Structure 1
């Protein structure tokens, strides 16, 4: 339609590149010059006003040039790229900001109404309409022999982006204050800092523009993959933090500086590696979309049940996927199926061209690209591994401030994830040692410890005349058992644990301090069997059986004092849970009786509520007791495990102050289940009394169920971790004064209750238990135990030539 003469076309072609570059420089340097000038010049003077107007004119000229070039290129698709880039940036920034505010008391995703984001929208709308018309005209111009490379097209679109959308309030605040905090750094008057931040902001816009251009052209590329990884990271970051939100401040902050950007960096790196490994854009996008959904649902469910974020060690549960799925609400499964179907449909209908295109075709180039994120991830891991005195090297952007400025490592996984990000907890788990090295650790200190407790054991044994291996010992871990009436504001129509209360009153018993809430069963079990204190190990340790046990040079256990053929573990669930099958095999247990994945199955199985009953568990112990030999039983029950669902007896009702209807219903079912445990436990002990041999039972609740709202523990935080325990024998024993213990104290309490002799190791545990009973938090005995634990795991194993210490 329109045509230029040959010479004029050639002349115009030679001008396009300089025009694009000049307009780009104007766009790039505008925030630098304008901000620097505003801080250092008086705009009320004639000269100041002149400079200001010249700046504005240059910006206007640059904007017009960019506008005309984009129109001249004549592709309507470029306008869609422009709009898509703007919308993307709005939601990226909003997602980042929302992640920083999820713990606010009045949090909502859109704190401002839609007018805030699209203020001055009408002038922009008119500009876009005008641009579309010009583009339509430009498409009719004969541009033969005037090639415009894609890189220049992307530059022009980026420049037009600034020209059109710079009037929006959100863009002003984003560009000047939020994205790189330009307003703050500009106060120093350092123009180099302004230059750096301006370039970073421009590169981000350019990356978004180029990615959308590639996407609309259905072209796989490293740039599009990098942008997609970043978008997935922003989305995943928001939902990870939202899933563990709590409306309160810590150290006068709702989240610590750098937490969000650190998590986005880690997630972007991991997602980009996944893209490169798959090397197909659409397949990688679908896989990452499903992965992000599953990660966030799992994180939300776990936090709801256990007040703990998703940890990388939770991957061990994939061995028992059936049990994992039992925790998942059917609505999530339905959503996953729906989203998967939509993703597959989109691929076949709209993006089939993407399917078979490799992101990087050359294997060597792909390997080189992969080395960049892997190198970055390795660098981050090395930085954290080199930590000394809880500090990493200073001067590393984001990471140093996040780790060094706020020491909350002593708090739970939940607090660290909430205020420092979930990814921070993952990295700490990967890099932190199992246990910190005690300052006094040496070969000499271990030798002194050995001699000290050999002497202690000799003194203790002078007053004791029994041997624990002459009895039958039954450890009963009662799933989620804890008296609900201990909690503030909880009322029951009747006491649901009358028999257990009476047993505690007449025998050795009291309260146990659990190391978990809503979960952590295996950690209580580990401590009860070994006497090793979970609280001595690093706060990054999640599951003792999978993280501590594989690193033990020697595996101490009270069961070692019994013959292997007389050691039994009974668990009415799956033997592979928490790697138990391997653990008990290592401990020399010849008989593992479980509901699933064992040669010897449970007998007389009945279900109460949603799980196998305590009656079934107890019967399977009773049926295996041999009056002619001493035996050791480790029984882990399941009846009171979530979900709690029991309709009778209707006479038992539970209510909590400010509980929801659902919370009261769950509490009522839980109370009814406890009443069943109480009745069956009394009957179990009654039947044990009929055997003509010495039997002692160590009975304890491992943790509270995760059914209570946080408000219940506000005035009494310790009640969140307090359960019940007793030690009972079918013969006359004295009631020992162990009213407050950890599960690691049960060996010592058992030996004192039965007046049994102790090994040097058990003499150490006896002194630790005495400190626990007297609420001594960091006593001499506990520090000695830490010394021993370090030697068994991270240390030089000086104990290897003195294993009689444990015998």
Structure 2
């Protein structure tokens, strides 16, 4: 056999790879549009150069595959399958959370084992069988095709051209070059759904590779930070609502995918799953948390609650833990503030410690210790395949609080209520649900049963608090609404109700008198100053800024703005509100992307 690939055969190979590039681009765009083929064709008609250029990008990716492996077919097939997986992941994420796939989502690949457990039941056995048969068929074809070799100079040339053009494409897109702008590309980082819909999967995905968390505010400087720090430092420190005799323990309990299912109209439950929560609602501070997320991205809710920084200012789809905080050495937070006041800082999460890089992020925020699933081998699960239960997580949290010699800040993130909502995953369902589609009955009843178990765990926590000698305050909230089938929310009429689809239950418990003033609806960024008031803590300047914002806009989210008192949904900002948000944005930029001057001035 000749050491040179015959020119005719090379031509056929190049044509197949070119066709493969167009097919990949078409598939990825279809996945980004939920397999809406007419929508894909309309997009191609409106942005033909984006489609052609993107298809050529994939052609050179496949060409690179031909150059790097001795078998000229194996490399392109492997890369083709990997790109198909990207499209499938994009489609699945859109169906589950309503958001497209972002570059930083790929960091979860290292958690492939845990992800397979989380998504168990979401991928049909038929689809898995089809995938296995497809891969087996491709392997068989590769083996049977004539063996070809490419001489080293030609191989190097093909590989070099592919790498150079691929890198050049990424540089042009990430830098918003006039070349790509002429193709009708605009990096719409502030609205990622529009970004992917308008620019196509490839251009939007590539444009996010170098995306900063937020744009530099006008007038940003050290002097501007100093002026803001001075303004809020001078505000009087109002007396706390409660002042226990000694520094109280503070427990944050962020409960996975927890909300009040009795709020869903059109559904009838055989019993109230939240008897404790509903019964205690008038006896202790309670209300709703306005989650910045829906169906996922737990880490972003946690980010707000711990740092007091708001997702409102950050680009759509960003995950600060993975994009920024993991690269930092420190970041002011409620953890670091309390540590400076003599607190022990502990984190507890009954799952994989590497999810969202928590094992690397928590030390940046100031945590002294982190108890994860690997440290809880004996923790109870409701079934062998289920997650560690909320009750077991609460019991571990109480054990850690009771064993401490001084005041503790303990941050608990649960897992019991994570999807999939497979019947029997957390034991038998004891509550029946009437209404909605029959096909969704098991799913909804399983979720309602999970909330009942959480309610029981919270009731146990309230009892355990009475046995803790040190004053202790516990803040409980759901991180986001669950990723239930879209039809469940459609039946409830919530498709166009952003407030309802982002409100989770919020309740504060304590073993000393903290009153029962309603909390209304709060963003997680305001939990810090709220619990400081209830625990007798003085407020640093940054928390005074947060209190000012909270007084005007207690619900601060891109999805909906909620005003104070009876103001309801806010559709326009006053000049004072805009000034507060400008101050807030500038400090947030300073801490995340700027000179971090506020770290020494406002905390």
Fold shared per TM-score above 0.5: yes
Distance 1:463 1:568, change over 3 A: closer
Which residue does the alignment assign to 1:378? 171
What does residue 349 of structure 2 align with? 571
1:348 to 133, 143, 146: 143
> What is the aligned partner in structure 1 of residue 391 from structure 2?
615
CA distance in 2, matches of 1:275, 1:345: 21
SS at match of 1:623: helix
- Contact 1:531/1:747 (CA < 8 Å) preserved in 2? yes
Deviations along 1:454-488, one digit per CA (max 9) or x if unpaired, are 112xx124567848991111110101001123234
Cα distance in 2 for residues equivalent to 1:264 and 1:501: 57
Gaps of 5+ in 2: 1-5, 556-561, 564-569
Residues 1:679 and 2:472 aligned together: no
Structure 1 residue 614 displacement after superposition: 0.6
Give the corresponding residue for 1:228. 20
Change (3 A) 1:509 1:421: farther
SS of match in other structure, 1:437: coil
Q: Does 1:492 align with 2:269?
A: yes
Matches within 5 A, 1:8-87: none
Displacement of 1:533: 0.5
SS in structure 2 of the partner of residue 361 of structure 1: helix
List aligned pairs for 1:704-715, cutoff 5 A: 704-707=481-484, 708-709=486-487, 711=490, 712-715=493-496
Quote the residue 1:111 is aligned against: none
Q: Is the counterpart of residue 593 in structure 1 residue 374 in structure 2?
A: no
Extract unaligned runs of 5+ from structure 1: 1-212, 385-392
The residue number in structure 2 matching 1:782 is 581
User: Measured at CA, do residues 476 and 358 of structure 1 come closer, stay the same or move farther in structure 2, by a change above 3 Å?
Assistant: farther
Which of the pair is proportionally richer in helix? 1
**Match 2:202 to one of 392, 403, 423:** 423
Q: Does 1:399 align with 2:184?
A: yes
Name the stretch that deviates more: 227-236 or 496-505: 227-236
Partner residue, 1:299: 90
User: What does residue range 332-343 of structure 1 map to in structure 2 within 5 Å?
Assistant: 332-343=127-138
Q: Which residue is 2:303 aligned to?
A: 526
Q: State how far apart, in whole Å, the 2-side matches of 1:572 and 1:246 are.
A: 42
Indicate the residue corresponding to 1:762 in structure 2. 543
Aligned counterpart, 1:447: 226
> Matches of 1:784 and 1:716 in 2, distance apart?
29
Post-superposition CA distance 1:628-676 (Å, at most 9, x none): 311111111011101113456654112443x3x3322101100011111
Q: CA deviation at 1:365?
A: 6.1
Alpha-carbon distance in 1 for matches of 2:495, 2:42: 18
1:542 aligns with 2:318: yes
Give the CA deviation at 1:578.
0.4
Q: TM-score, normalised by structure 2?
A: 0.85
1:611 offset after TM fit, Å? 1.6
Which protein has the larger Cα radius of gyration, Structure 1 or Structure 2?
1
The structure, 1 or 2, with the larger RCO (C-alpha pairs under 8 Å, 6+ apart) is 2
Q: Aligned equivalents of 1:282 and 1:629: distance in 2?
A: 65
* 1:734 maps onto 2:515 in alignment: yes
Tell me the secondary structure at the aligned position of residue 77 of structure 2: helix
Q: How big is each residue's C-alpha offset from its partner over 1:222-254, in whole Å with a ceiling of 9 and x where there is no partner?
A: 5553343233323333344335x59999xxx97
Contact conserved, 1:479 with 1:637, CA < 8 A, in 2?
yes
In the alignment, is the contact (CA less than 8 A) between 1:467 and 1:757 conserved in 2? no
Contact 2:66–2:73 (Cα < 8 Å) also in 1: no
Aligned length: 564
Counterpart for residue 276 of structure 1: 64
SS in 1 for 2:130: helix
Residue pair 2:25, 2:58 contacting (<8 A) in 1 also: no
1:282 deviates by 0.4
Q: Paired residue for 1:772?
A: 553
Q: How does 1:3-402 map to 2 (within 5 A)?
A: 217=9, 222=14, 224-243=16-35, 258=46, 262=50, 265-266=53-54, 268-276=56-64, 278-279=66-67, 280=69, 281-326=72-117, 327=119, 329=123, 330-349=125-144, 351-354=145-148, 356-357=149-150, 361=154, 363-364=156-157, 366-383=159-176, 393=178, 396-400=181-185
Moved more, 480-489 or 544-553: 544-553
Give the TM-score normalised by structure 1. Answer: 0.64
Q: Distance in 2 between matches of 1:263 and 1:741?
A: 43
